[in-house]
Amino acid sequence: MAPVIPIAGVGAGAADAASPASVQHYLRPGTLQLAALPPLSLYVHIPWCLRKCPYCDFNSHEARDGAPEQRYTDALLADLEAALPLVWGRRVHSVFIGGGTPSLFAPEAIDRLIGGIRARLPLEPGVEITMEANPGTFERERFRAFRGAGVTRLSIGVQSFDDTMLARIGRVHDAAQARAAVAEARDAFDTFNIDLMYALPGQTAEHLAAELDTALAFAPPHLSIYHLTVEPNTLFALQPPVLPDDDASSDMLDLITERTAAVGLQRYEVSAFAQPGHRCTHNLNYWEFGDYLGIGAGAHGKLSFPHRVLRQVRWREPAAYMQHALAGNAVSNAHEVKRRDLPFEFMLNALRLREGFELTRFGERTGLPLSAVNTALAQAQQRGLLEHDVAAGTVRPTARGFDFLSDLQSIFLPPASD
């Protein structure tokens, strides 16, 4: 095992003076003091879809009688209006419209939504505005209309290009629709993302290789690839499918990393691969423990203030959300993140990044001294899960740490006795 490299300011017994200057004053017991607020993003949740997938545990609801576009957009803008005092004067770096299936909404509704956001929040020039879309809601020229409404980046929930696999995971589109949707996105947008899943019921490495052939033939600027997992409170949890075992799944991931690297897609996060210049700004802000205001049914948010970090949750059920948001009280729950929980929350996100993070960022984003994680950092290094680049002042997961990310992240859990 490689020797543990002492990290300035986080070694056992490190003095305050050994910490970066920007975090020296964070040591008042029991308090936080952020030197500057992190970047701010906006997440907008649209909860309707054509049909609930059997693996999905997101807050999504079948639009049996159509989605109430006008009333829901009214509620979103009322929610945003009420939240403005919490983010007053802060510029928004990215917007993400997720779901559900936001592409169920007409381009005119998305245009009104984005216009309403621009009227209420100062957006950075060239702000990234991502919207999720599914091939089952694809119509030719519809994607171009979303681009005209202000969407700059489309994320397409393909999941598979194989009709058999699509049927096994309960998707409403077929392979031909998936290919047509990606081709249209490629023509309509300068950057776009393809979502794929692997370790599907009955899938083999040969099946996956064919999926990758199809996806990579479109030369996607960004590819997100997720392992199918059986989540509680889903149809798959009640009727579990037979999935590839851990060894087969690991071989599939090796195939994915090999094939994507060969075409210049860099694996910059556990599940995210991108061409240079096409990383997802919005998701990067999550992983770098930035702030995000979440509006919409069940949306979560994280907002920092000089002496506290606040988490919020909106009313989950769409009808209840619309009622409460239009009445000015969209938030169903809000709580301050405890000081003892901040290290784990930071590491849960930052360690997903292949390049890791700058040590100074921990203090900048949590308001805590680096000594708050000295023992955990040393333990992670001793176990060969984390490495320290002294010259760059960064720590990052080793190859082993990346493969066993949950084990690495769990090292930073607060002690149970606290």
Which residues are registered as beta bridge partners of 61?
Answer: 48
Count of other CB atoms within 10 angstroms of residue 67: 22
- Percentage of the chain beyond pLDDT 90 is 83
Which residues are registered as beta bridge partners of 131?
Answer: 97, 154
Question: In this predicted structure, what is the pLDDT of residue 140?
Answer: 72
Looking at residues 223-236, what average pLDDT do you find?
94
Does position 14 have pLDDT exceeding 60, yes or no? no
- pTM of structure: 0.91
Question: In this predicted structure, what is the pLDDT of residue 150?
Answer: 97
Q: Give residue 23's pLDDT band: very low, low, confident or very high (50, 70, 90).
A: very low
Q: Mind listing the domains of the chain with CATH numbers?
A: 40-285 (3.20.20.70), 340-410 (1.10.10.10)
Q: Give residue 24's pLDDT band: very low, low, confident or very high (50, 70, 90).
A: very low
Record the tokens describing residue 151, joined without a space: 């969407």
Q: How far is CA 279 from CA 97, 222, 274, 294, in A?
A: 17, 7, 6, 21
Does position 415 have pLDDT exceeding 90, yes or no? no
Question: In this predicted structure, what is the pLDDT of residue 30?
Answer: 56
Give 319's contacts (C-beta < 8 A, 6+ positions apart).
none
Looking at residues 38-63, what average pLDDT do you find?
93
d(CA 13, CA 216) in angstroms, rounded, equals: 51
d(CA 52, CA 43) in angstroms, rounded, equals: 21
Q: How many helices (H) and strands (E) does the chain have?
A: 15, 17
Does position 8 have pLDDT exceeding 60, yes or no? no
Q: Give residue 28's pLDDT band: very low, low, confident or very high (50, 70, 90).
A: very low
